[in-house]
């Protein structure tokens, strides 16, 4: 499906950015790229983490604004 392809492409891009950092990269930036890759895979497999739920709550229900 095109949705799977889009998420897989975003995952691959995040992993590429992670790999491009090398050993001298910022640890926080590396962790963020891995987090983004995991999130994209989760969107394919249906795994939803707490972070995604909180994103929806804050985006759709105006909590904390």
pLDDT tens, residue by residue, 6-33: 999 999 999 999 999 988 778 888 888 9
pLDDT for 56: 66
Looking at the whole model, is its pTM more than 0.75? no
Both structure tokens of 36 = 């983004």
- Percentage of the chain modeled with pLDDT above 90: 32
Which phi and psi angles does 7 have, rounded to 5°? -70, -40
- The larger pLDDT score, comparing residue 58 to residue 62, is at 58
- Residue 57's pLDDT band (boundaries 50, 70, 90)? low
Compute the distance between CA of residue 1 and CA of residue 4 in angstroms, rounded to an integer: 5
Both structure tokens of 3 = 């949705």
Q: What is the CA radius of gyration of the chain?
A: 14
When the pLDDT of each residue in the chain is averaged and rounded to a whole number, the result is: 84
Q: How far apart are the first and last CA of the chain?
A: 36
Tokens 């904390």 correspond to 64
């Amino acid at each position: 499906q095109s949705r799977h392809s889009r998420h897989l492409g975003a995952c691959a891009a995040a992993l590429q950015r992670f790999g491009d950092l090398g050993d001298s990269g910022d640890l926080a930036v590396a962790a963020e790229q891995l987090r983004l890759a995991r999130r994209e895979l989760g969107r394919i497999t249906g795994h939803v983490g707490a972070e995604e739920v909180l994103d929806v709550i804050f985006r759709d229900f105006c909590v904390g604004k």
